[in-house]
Each structure stands twice: as structure tokens, then as C-alpha cells.
Amino acid sequence: MTYGLFSKFPAQPGKGDDLADFLLEAAELLERDPACIQYVVSGSDEPDVVWVFEVWTDQAAHDASSEPEDIRTLIQRAMPLIAGTPEQTQLVIHGGKGLPS
Amino acid sequence: MTYGLFSKFPAQPGKGDDLADFLLEAAELLERDPACIQYVVSGSDEPDVVWVFEVWTDQAAHDASSEPEDIRTLIQRAMPLIAGTPEQTQLVIHGGKGLPS
């Protein structure tokens, strides 16, 4: 079952762009992971908030994705920029446009 | 500026799957629209709620997308299944994995 996640990351005041850069770096690292179908980083008119829409082949692949050393290091570096627990919506992807067929 | 939208559609009781089918039909119609980069339909553990993640070349393209006759007809047919105003988060897409380069 294709697994999705929509996350709202609160950033420390004035650190929204820096946090977005880290999450874009994570997206680049995930280019190598075929189980990661999408990792889309966005902003909004809400300052110091970064949104990430993810699609994975399944939840286990997502859960395992933070294990590699370089990703763990990146998460550690980003932690000081995050201002609280992200709000997350877990999704069951039905389909649509823009997903690999 | 690449425009994004994340929407939470409340469905009438027991009509979540039917609403998802309509939104998947909309995604198929949008296959012809090059300005629509993504239109991903999802469910969650919340019954009778359908989520749509959209990415468009810009907001004007999104706003114009409901004008074609067949899409307007589809929206009319889906309206009775929708149980209230969708909650929507407008996004500025920074980038990431899964978007066309």
C-alpha cells in the first residue's frame, strides 16, 4: 500500500529558509532510494513553517529511511532549527497525476 | 513560482470512497493539462475524508483549471458528496524529489 505523509515543520523564528534548505538536502540524499517516490518541500504564507509531502512504496521503507549515517547526521544538524513537534498526516495514496505509473 | 495546494475534503457519511473516485477522475482529466504537475488523491485513517496534494506551474493555471465544461460537470456531480468547505493550505513549492526537473 503506497504510503504518504504530509508534515508541517515549525522552524525557529527567522529559520524557515534554513530549515527548508536542510529538507531539500534530505530530498537530494533520497534520490538514491527507490522506495522514496516523492519528497516535496514547500513554504507557505505562514512564516517559519516548512511543509513536506512524501510518497513511499510503503511505511516500512519510510520508517527505515532515517537510518543511514548521512541522513542521521543531516537530521542532527537540522534539529536546532526545528521549533517543536511536526504536525503529520499519514496518508494512503489512492493515485492521481504525477506519480510513476 | 510553482504553486501547491493541500486540501482536506470532508465527505458525506459513507461517501469517502465515492468522492475519492470523483477526484481520481478529475486527475485523469488533468492529464491533458501541462500546467498541472501533480494531482495526488489520498485517504487516511480518518473515515470519509479525502486529501488532494496538487502542484501547478502557477496559481493562475490552477484557478483556470475548473473552467473546462467536462471538469465543471464533474465538480457538479461530486458536490452532493462533499460535506463542507475543504480545508486548504496554499503552498510555495521549493523543490524536492518526484517533481519534473
Residue B61 CB-half CA count within 13 A: 18
Q: What digits encode the pLDDT tens for the residues B2-11?
A: 999 999 999 9
Q: Give the whole-angstrom CA distance, residue B85 versus residue B83.
A: 7
A23 in B contact zone (CB under 8 Å):
yes
Amino acid at A98: G
Instruction: Provide the number of structural domains found in chain B.
Output: 1
B61 in A contact zone (CB under 8 Å):
no
Q: Is residue A60 part of a domain?
A: yes
Q: Is residue B99 part of a domain?
A: no
Could you list the residue range(s) of the whole structural domain that residue A71 is in? 3-92
Q: Is residue B98 part of a domain?
A: no
Q: Is residue A99 part of a domain?
A: no
Question: 3-class DSSP state for residue B7?
Answer: strand
Q: What digits encode the pLDDT tens for the residues B22-69?
A: 999 999 999 999 999 999 999 999 999 999 999 999 999 999 999 999
Choose, out of B40, B48, B65, B90, the residue to mutate when testing the contact with A (most A CBs < 10 Å). B40
Per-residue pLDDT of chain A (101 residues; tens, 9 = 90+): 899 999 999 999 999 999 999 999 999 999 999 999 999 999 999 999 999 999 999 999 999 999 999 999 999 999 999 999 999 999 999 999 999 87
Q: In 3D, which of A82, A3, A10 has the Cα closest to residue B45?
A: A3
Give A33→chain B minimum CA distance, Å.
10
